[in-house]
C-alpha cells in the first residue's frame, strides 16, 4: 500500500513538472549577465498553456522563435501591444518615456531604432546583452500564441542557481 501511495505522489509530481513547469537550456549569451550561455532555467508555463497569462514589462520569457518555431528563445519583454518603442542616442523609450534598465551593460552603444508600434496580440523582446542579442529589433514581433512561459530561476550550474530578475 505504501508503494502505491509513493508511486502516485511521484507520478503527480512528474506530471506537474512536465506541464506546469519546464526546464529550458539557454545556448547563447544574449541574456548575459542575467542568464549565461549554458544555464538551465526553470520556467513557469501554466498561464500560457491556458491562455490567461498577461506578461509584465521586464519579464524574461521563453517563446518559439517567430521565423522558425521549432527553436525556443529566451528574452526580456520590452513592449506590449500598442506600445511605441524607440531607441535613440543609446537610450530605450517606451511610449515616450525612457526605460531605466539596471540589468544591462551600458558600456556599448545601441543603434538607433524605431519608432515602431507593437501590433495587437504581439510583443517586443530584447536580450540583456544588447550587443550580442538577435531580437525583435531584427526579426520583429512575437505573437502571444508563441509564448511558452516565464523564467523564474536558474537551476544549473549550482553556483548560479537562484531567482532571475
Give me the active site residues, please. 30, 75
Cβ-based neighbours of 103, under 8 Å, separated by 6 or more: 33, 34, 58, 76, 128, 165
Distance, CA of 15 to CA of 116 (rounded, Å): 41
DSSP state of 131: T
Confirm if 110 and 87 have CB atoms less than 8 A apart.
Answer: yes
Amino acid at each position: 500500500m505504501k508503494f502505491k501511495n509513493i508511486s502516485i505522489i511521484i507520478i503527480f509530481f512528474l506530471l506537474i513538472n512536465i506541464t506546469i513547469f519546464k526546464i529550458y537550456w539557454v545556448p547563447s549569451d544574449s541574456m548575459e549577465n542575467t542568464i549565461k550561455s549554458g544555464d538551465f532555467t526553470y520556467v513557469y508555463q501554466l498561464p500560457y498553456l491556458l491562455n490567461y497569462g498577461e506578461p509584465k514589462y521586464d519579464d524574461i520569457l521563453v517563446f518559439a522563435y517567430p521565423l522558425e518555431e521549432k527553436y525556443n528563445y529566451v528574452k526580456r519583454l520590452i513592449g506590449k501591444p500598442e506600445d511605441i518603442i524607440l531607441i535613440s542616442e543609446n537610450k530605450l523609450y517606451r511610449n515616450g518615456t525612457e526605460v531605466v534598465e539596471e540589468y544591462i551593460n551600458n558600456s556599448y552603444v545601441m543603434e538607433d531604432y524605431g519608432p515602431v508600434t507593437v501590433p495587437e496580440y504581439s510583443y517586443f523582446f530584447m536580450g540583456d546583452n544588447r550587443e550580442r542579442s538577435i531580437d525583435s529589433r531584427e526579426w520583429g514581433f512575437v505573437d502571444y500564441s508563441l509564448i511558452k512561459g516565464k523564467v523564474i530561476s536558474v537551476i544549473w550550474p549550482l553556483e548560479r542557481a537562484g531567482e532571475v530578475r
